Amino acid sequence: MPRTLVPPRRWVVATGVLVITAVAYVDRVNLSVATPVLIKEFGTTAAVLGLVLSSFTWTYTLCSIPAGLVVDRIRIRVIFPVILALWGVASLLTATARSVGGIIAPRLLLGVGEAPFAPASIKTLSTWLPQRERGLGSSMFISGVALGSAVGPPGLAYLVSVHGWQSAFVATGVLSLVIAVVWAVLYRAPRPEEDHSAPSPQESGVPATAPWRPLLRSRNVWFLVGGYFCLLYILYTFVSWLPGYLVADRGFTLLGSGFSTSLPWACAFVVGLLGGRLSDRLMRRGVAPLAARKVVLVSGMVAALTIVGAAVVDSAAGAIVFLCISTSGIVFANGAVWAAAQDIVHDLGITGSASGYVNFWGNVGGILGPIVTGVLATATSTFLVPLVVAGAIALVGALLWGLGLRTVRTAVPAPATVTG
């Protein structure tokens, strides 16, 4: 019999998670692409738009922990179509806004809908992939961030330029609804031999409740969260303000900013996948799982420091080069965050809850990034200062992960188990 070219089902599912992540970030960047037009149409400022751009993260962050608890109790086949439908409704409602204030409510709804997205993605990958493949799997998940941010701006910028800003939100809303239907129709639960979600033998007891106390007492969890706060500050600054920066400081047109914005994210998509392969390869060579993730975490944040170069270089082309390196570093490290989170807490059987916990604290940085950037850009009439601040935060993140994470086998102690 000839060998089949159909990939194993686990990689088909991982690719599906990548696609959903890309859709999530297309839904997020639609507003940032429309920002230059909205500032003129509604007569507002970068500081006000920074507040509106961050509004998504208000509910996204507040709902992260409860969303993680919900994900641990709902089937994967159900959770993704439900949240994708919410994304679609939120985008379509945004298209009906007639003022800056009218955009906030749909963005808050988008935050609610996307809160279960990261825990659901990590739970899916933890279920389908063995530990030796989770680095690549997590990088596929996070590379969806880069893919969505790469393909979204050019297409959305074209729609905004030709058909008005509302068309971008109609398009992303319809896309989310289509993917919701596709997942509901095609996804099937793993067969027993494909399911890797069970705790390991040494931790086979079922926790009576989510082990918040062990999480709070874990040094590795807190340092992972601290570095993730820094990473998401920079990531959300890129997602929210990169097109506006290229228009305001580098003289790009709206359409030109859309295509130029895609270049750093396209590079990040490729580099992000390499990060997952690197940590998995290190593990196969005998490096402890968390030590392998730490190599990727620190090197990615060091690369992110080059955002300072984008702020000070004279040429627009040079700025794009530095942005490519910096954005690639962020995505390179981001995949390792989720692989490390799985390594730390998987034996407790609460991957969704713990992912929501990490996501909550990290997204506090995501809230601050667009706001601080908008305020500093308005106060100084340039993006120089906010980009330098982002570079300083990248340095802090590299130090937190480099000096704080300890490469022990199990970073979170097991909670009390239920016996019968």
Count of other CB atoms within 10 angstroms of residue 333: 32
Per-residue pLDDT, averaged over 220-225, amounts to 87
pLDDT bracket for residue 136 (50, 70, 90): confident
What's residue 339's pLDDT?
A: 78
Which pLDDT value is given to residue 313?
87
Confidence of residue 415 (pLDDT cuts 50, 70, 90): very low
Q: Is 4 exposed, middle or buried (0-12, 13-18, 19+ CB in 10 A)?
A: exposed
Is the pLDDT at 127 greater than 90, yes or no? Answer: no
**Nearest of 84, 28, 18, 41 to residue 236 by alpha carbon:** 28
Angle 351-380/64-71 helices, nearest 10 degrees? Answer: 150
CA quadruple 124, 126, 130, 131: dihedral positive or negative?
A: positive
Q: What is the mean pLDDT of residues 148-161?
A: 86
For helices 134-163 and 254-284, what crossing angle results, to 10°?
180
The answer to which of 33-37, 198-202, 346-350 has the lowest mean pLDDT is: 198-202
Residue 418 pLDDT greater than 50, yes or no: no
pLDDT at 336 over 90: no
- Distance (Å) of CA 282 to CA 92, 99, 126, 272, 279: 45, 52, 19, 16, 5
Please state the rounded mean pLDDT for residues 1-26. 79
The structure tokens listed for 350 are 């609460």
Q: Is the dihedral of CA 406, 412, 414, 415 positive or negative?
A: positive
pLDDT in the model for residue 94 = 93
Task: Please tell me the predicted confidence (pLDDT) of residue 417.
Answer: 34
pLDDT at 349: 53
Domains and CATH numbers, the chain: 9-187+211-404 (1.20.1250.20)
Rounded to whole angstroms, the Cα distance separating 311 from 67 reads 37
201 pLDDT band, cuts 50/70/90, is very low
Please tell me which residue, 366 or 395, carries the higher pLDDT value. 395
Collapse the DSSP code of 417 into the 3-class scheme (helix H, G, I; strand E, B; otherwise coil) and give the result: strand
> Mean pLDDT: which of 281-295, 331-345, 381-395 is highest?
381-395
pLDDT digits (tens, 9 = 90+) for 352-391: 567 777 888 888 888 888 888 888 988 888 888 989 999 9
Tell me the percentage of the chain whose pLDDT exceeds 90: 26
